[in-house]
Amino acid sequence: MKKKKKKTKKVISRELGLEVGSICGRYFLKLQHLHYGYWTGDIEVDAANLHLAQDKYVKFTISHVPDGVKTILDVGCGTGEIAETLLDMGYQVDGVSPCPFLKKRASELLGDRSHIFECFYEDLQAANRYDMVLFCESFQYIDMEQALSKTNEFLKSGGYLFICDVFRKDIEGKMAMSGGHKLSKFYELIDKFPFRLIENVDITEETAPNMDLFCDVLENVVQPVVDAGVRFFESRYPIALKFLRWKYRKKIGKVHKKYLEGGRSGEDFKKCKSYQLFLYKKDAQE
């Protein structure tokens, strides 16, 4: 029997990160989604326009859903906004969400129009079979082999695997930006499954500006707020701060290196990442 996916520290902090991102994004920037924006030259790259770029991402993605699809499994459905758009268009959509906070939000939004399985995709047990399994920026969080094998299980014969997500290029050395499966590994693995490539669109250029926005927020919001906090503690509790700095020096060093020493711009993203839309068809198996 397969073991249930364990909630590791990394998974817990990632879920919390998505939860906090969803709360802050909605409150400060009126964001409904949890994915990147799709920036075409007609909108200025500005945090205030991120919601417009995210809507474009949804339109772009949905425009690639193939004809004939009626039932969709939205894996990692986040706040449920994409599922809602698909439901409004007449598709039947179920979701998968391992995060109780996001699942609650999606359930409130979708009501009884959709069933959301609260579990990791790796652990999903269901009798349903779908015309399409959709991963919108959720593929990167799931072990690839398990994601593909589960998708093979939940797709009807002739159904579609739809992935829109960021991948890593084969780059020597350590990059500041982590995340995303290796593209070369993905190509190796997908060949072992009965999936035939129907469409592939590279949207690295249109998604790279999100990193410029991210850098801007780090430089102009996060760094000054952290500096102010440190100054406050230095004036009130200098000895405690000195101790904490020493005790967590490795962690502080890591965070500093990861977020505050550059290497995260749109140009860096284009060098080491590749944002791809993949549409595969499951071939009938004899």
Q: Is 18 in the site for ligand SAM (CB under 6 A)?
A: yes
Task: Indicate the residue among 123 and 233 with the shorter CB distance to ligand SAM.
Answer: 123
Residue 123, token pair as written in the block: 């652990």
Helix axes 50-62, 209-217, angle to 10 degrees: 150
Q: Is 137 in the site for ligand SAM (CB under 6 A)?
A: yes
Which of 136, 161, 166, 215 is close enough to bind ligand SAM by CB under 6 A? 136
Helices within the chain (DSSP H only) = 9-29, 50-62, 81-88, 100-110, 144-154, 183-190, 204-207, 209-217, 223-236, 238-247, 249-255, 266-272
CA distance 189 to 126: 24
Q: Which of 64, 54, 67, 111 is nearest to 88 (CA)?
A: 111
**Interface mask toward ligand SAM for 59-78; x: CB under 6 A:** ----------------xxxx
In this structure, the chain runs to a length of 286
Instruction: Find the binder of ligand SAM among 65, 97, 150, 215 (CB under 6 A).
Output: 97
Q: Say which amino acid occupies 180.
A: G
Using CB under 6 A, which residues numbered 139 to 168 contact ligand SAM?
141-142
Does 82 contact ligand SAM by CB under 6 A? yes
| 216: helix, strand or coil | helix
Contact by Cβ (8 Å): 107, 80: yes
Choose which of 102, 116, 208, 215 interacts with ligand SAM (CB under 6 A).
Answer: 102
Q: Does 98 bind ligand SAM (CB under 6 A)?
A: yes
Candidates 120-128, 196-204, 211-219, 229-237: pick the segment binding ligand SAM (CB under 6 A): 120-128
Piece in contact with ligand SAM (CB under 6 A), picked from 23-31, 97-105, 175-183, 190-198:
97-105
Residues that bind ligand SAM (CB under 6 A): 18, 33-35, 75-78, 82, 96-99, 102, 120-122, 136-138, 141-142
